[in-house]
Amino acid sequence: MKIGMVLLCLIPTWAIADIYKSIDVDGHVTYSSAPIRGGKRVVASPAAPKTRPEHPGSAPMPATLSQGFPKVNEETQRGRDDRRHKILRDELKTEEALLSTARMQVTEINRSNPGDNDKRKELNSQVNLHTRNIEALKTELSK
C-alpha cells in the first residue's frame, strides 16, 4: 500500500520535462526535449485565461512573438511568397495533367471494355481525387 502511494506521488514528476527552443538564421523554430546547440531553455507557464481581443479581427501579439522573435523583411517575405506560389502553380499543372490522363483512361475503358466496373471505379476515384486537389490548389492560390 505504501509503495503504491509513493508511486502515485511520483507520476506527475514524470510528465515534467525541460523544453529547449532554437531559431535558425532563416527563422525556423525548433523545439526539443534535449538541449539544442544555440538553443534556450523554455520555461513553461500555466495557460493564461482566454480573453477577447479589443478589436474584432485583431488579436494581441503573444509574448513569445514580441520578445526577440526574428523579423522578416519585406523582400525576404516576398521571395518566400513567390516561391510558394510557384510551387502551387507547378503542382496545379501536374494535377491538371493527371486529371486529363485519368479522364482519357475512363473514356478508353468505357469504349474498349464497358464491363470492367472495378477498373472504372478506380479510374473515377482518381478523377475525383485530382478534381478535389485542383480545387484545393486554386483556393490556396487565390489567398
Whether residue 79 is found in the same domain as residue 132: yes
20, 41 contact by CB (below 8 A): yes
E strands, the chain, are: 19-23, 29-32, 40-42
Predicted pLDDT of residue 40: 82
Are residues 84 and 137 in contact, defined by beta-carbon separation less than 8 angstroms? no
* Mean pLDDT confidence for 51-68: 58
State how many domains the chain has.
2
Residue 88 lies in a domain: yes
Residue 62, in any domain of the structure: no
Does residue 83 lie within any of the structural domains?
yes
Same domain, 88 and 39: no
Average pLDDT over the chain, rounded to whole? 78
- For 10-37, the pLDDT digits (tens) are 555 545 567 878 888 887 888 787 888 8
136 falls within a domain = yes
Residue 99 lies in a domain: yes
Q: Which domain does 125 fall in, by range?
A: 74-142
How far from each other are the two terminal CA atoms of the chain, in whole angstroms? Answer: 61
The pLDDT tens digits of the residues spanning 117-130 come to 888 889 899 999 99
Bridge partner residues of 127 (DSSP): none
> Which tens digit of pLDDT belongs to each residue from 74-130?
999 999 999 999 999 999 999 999 999 999 998 988 888 888 888 888 989 999 999
